[in-house]
Structure formats: C-alpha cells, structure tokens
Amino acid sequence: MTRESLLAGVAVAILRLLFCTIRLKVDDYSAIKNDTSGKSIILCFWHNRILGITVSFLRLYPAMQRKGVTVLTSPSKDGEILAQIMAGFRMGAIRGSSSRRGSQAMRELVRAVDKGTDIAVTPDGPRGPCYKLGPGVVFLAQTTGTRIFPLHAKFSRCIRLKSWDRFIIPLPFSTISVKVSEPISVPAELTPEEFEKVRLDLETTLKNEAD
C-alpha cells in the first residue's frame, strides 16, 4: 500500500464519521433533482467548499439515479490523495491542471461527458488564486454543450486551514447549507469578449455566496 493510499483510507474513515453528525440543508433553484434528461452536468464550486459539497453528494445523489460523478484533480501527490479519497466516496477522478496534463485532461473530460457522467470542477484549484475562476470550466461547457450548475456551501461552525484557499472543515454536529443556483448554458460560438463575460458572471455568482 502506498503512502497516498494509506492517507486516503484514513481520511475517508474519519470523514465518514464526521459526515454522520452533520445536518444538511439544501436550497435548489435549479430543479436538478427533477432532471431526467440523462445529459451530463457540470458541478462548479470553490475549492475550499469540497467537503460541504461532498456531504450533499453522499446524502442526495444516490436517489437521483444519475450515472456518477468524475472530479477534476491535480496531477500532484496531493491530487492523488484527493483522487483516492473521492474513490472512497464512489466518485471518479481525472488528473490535470492548467500547468500539467491540461489538454489531455480536457479530452478525458469531454469523453466522460459523452458517456453521460457528471463532472465536478473547482475552478480556482488546485493552487489558486482563491475565488479566481479559470477559463477551463467555461471552455468545457462551451465545447460539450453541458450546463454549469453553480454550487455554494456555507458552514454554521467550522475551522479553516492556513492553506492558500483557507480550506473549510465542518465541525461535528454543525449544519452545512448548500445552494444550487440556476444552471448556466454556454453558447458554442462566442467572441473573446463574450467568453470573458460568461467567465466573469460565473465567478461573480460563486463569489457572491462565499464568506
């Protein structure tokens, strides 16, 4: 067993215990739970909200009868640990970032969309800047015709790590409030100015719900 596998296994066990104590509140403005189209969607949220979104996935996603979620993670060792943690929660992973394996990861994401798999993206990861949305998620939606669902998570009680994004860990017996905003469709044909407006509008939507 590798070091990454060991750390991931321990993390999954601890997180499952923690998640059992969490109260979850969901405000869904997207009607995502009623989507029976069978088409992939892109779930977009800030990197420091990963644990909050994971709780909502574990509680709500199985009943939605979708084809699974694949998470874009960094090709670094930290990304390998995250990928294995996601596997422990029955999520797939595609490895890549803007600086490493970017084009290959994009091709793998497109293939995943073609198979009907939902995609989860943290557009300011893996190294930031915090709350700065990179163009990749908009490009993926534009290329595949897949809608982007902005997700937000707020925590009643939590600790924040001293990382670049001040990663949020909910405290036991706290409440996580998740909001699903209305989906965003990206036209296939956009001028550079129009593309930037879509990117900025999505960034603003996510920023407005961040604390």
The mean pLDDT of the chain is 92
Give the helix/strand (H/E) hosting 28: strand 23-28
Class of residue 71 by CB neighbours under 10 A (exposed 0-12, middle 13-18, buried 19+): buried
Provide the 8-state DSSP code for 184. Answer: B
User: What pLDDT, on a 0 to 100 scale, did the predictor assign at position 100?
Assistant: 66
Q: Count of CB atoms within 10 A of residue 34's CB?
A: 8
Q: Which residue has the higher pLDDT, 51 or 79?
A: 51
- Count helices and strands (H / E) in the chain: 6, 9
Q: What is the pLDDT of residues 152-178, one digit of tens each?
A: 999 999 999 999 999 999 999 999 999
Q: What is the pLDDT of residues 92-147, one digit of tens each?
A: 999 877 666 668 889 999 999 999 999 999 999 788 899 999 999 999 999 999 99
Q: Domains for the chain: give ranges and CATH numbers.
A: 3-208 (3.40.1130.10)
User: What pLDDT, on a 0 to 100 scale, did the predictor assign at position 1?
Assistant: 65
What percentage of residues in the chain have a pLDDT greater than 90?
A: 75
User: What pLDDT, on a 0 to 100 scale, did the predictor assign at position 24?
Assistant: 98
Is the pTM higher than 0.85? The answer reads yes
User: What pLDDT, on a 0 to 100 scale, did the predictor assign at position 146?
Assistant: 96
User: What pLDDT, on a 0 to 100 scale, did the predictor assign at position 75?
Assistant: 81
User: What pLDDT, on a 0 to 100 scale, did the predictor assign at position 95?
Assistant: 87
Q: Is the dihedral of CA 201, 202, 205, 209 positive or negative?
A: negative
Distance (Å) of CA 56 to CA 17, 37, 211: 15, 21, 19
Confidence of residue 29 (pLDDT cuts 50, 70, 90): very high
User: What pLDDT, on a 0 to 100 scale, did the predictor assign at position 3?
Assistant: 80
List Cβ neighbours of 111 (8 Å cut-off, separation of 6 or more): none
